[in-house]
Amino acid sequence: MILPDNENFEGFDLAVDQSEDIKKVEKNEDTEVEEKAASNTDADKVEITYAEDGTKLSNDASDFVLLSEAVPDAILEIRYYSTYNFVGDRIDGYEEPVALLTSEAAEKLEEVSKELKEKGYRLKIYDAYRPQMAVTNFVKWAEDVDDTRMKDYFYPELDKSVLFDQGYIAEHSGHSRGSTLDLTLFDMRTEKEVDMGGTFDYFGELSHPDYKDITEEQYNNRMILREAMMNHGFKPLDEEWWHFTLEDEPYPDTYYTFPVSEDSVD
């Protein structure tokens, strides 16, 4: 089983945005103006549609904010913009290495950030709002059982064919409702990620928050994150130590479709 140390990602395109230095694709001035105008026009056209299973879909980003602005102390390492994820490619819908959340969730996350900063930690965000097109990308990847490039890193103990049945991949994700995020702790004293005893997006029992076959320190680190998130209205997931959803999420029945980019919320 390969458990990368989160500092050595040799061979992968790991997009890290630390908020103060967002990496952006250079555009000439005319193109930027044209794209901005097109974005504003599209933003005015709110569309509500329904998937075949009845799921409500919307492109309305009016209540979403950039985490780099709402929670300025957070570090962003958006894995699905990079190639270091269980698919091995940049995921559809991730146009920039930024993170979006509903304003309600972002406000509560800022409270978490302030609490943890007093204890010497910053939040490190792996993923937040996830567009439906990204979830569809995951589904298509899961259906291709021969593509196992990232198996050694993310699901070494599982056959790819069981990922649907065991709930690791699904047709819809709570992330698409805009109030769910994946994150860890960054120790300001050591300037490193806190050791959680397992890597983000690892498919297996190792990722369960209460997994016992890790060190006491690793378990306590998971509990520090969990307690702080729960203190401010986020509920954890039993299968993933990094995953939290705002308990009073504002759009519990709506799944959003707009891409992950700054233009989506301008």
Residue numbers annotated as active site: 240
Q: Which of 102, 91, 110 lies closest to 129, judged by CA? A: 102
Residues with Cβ within 8 Å of 82's Cβ and at least 6 positions away in sequence, in order, are 12, 13, 14, 15, 90, 97
Largest CA distance in the chain: 57
Give φ, ψ of 240 to 5 degrees.
-140, 120
- Cα–chain center distance at 106: 13
127, two tokens: 């993923």
Cα-Cα-Cα-Cα dihedral sign, residues 223, 224, 227, 228: negative
Instruction: Give 22: exposed, middle or buried? Use CB within 10 Å, 0-12, 13-18, 19+.
Output: middle
Cα–Cα distance for residue pair 250/65, rounded to 1 Å: 14
Query: Which residue(s) pair with 54 in the sheet?
Result: none
Long-range contacts (CB closer than 8 Å, 24 or more residues apart) made by 84-90: 84/9, 84/12, 84/13, 84/14, 85/150, 85/154, 85/201, 86/150, 86/153, 86/154, 86/155, 86/201, 86/203, 87/137, 87/138, 87/141, 87/150, 88/147, 88/149, 88/150, 90/13
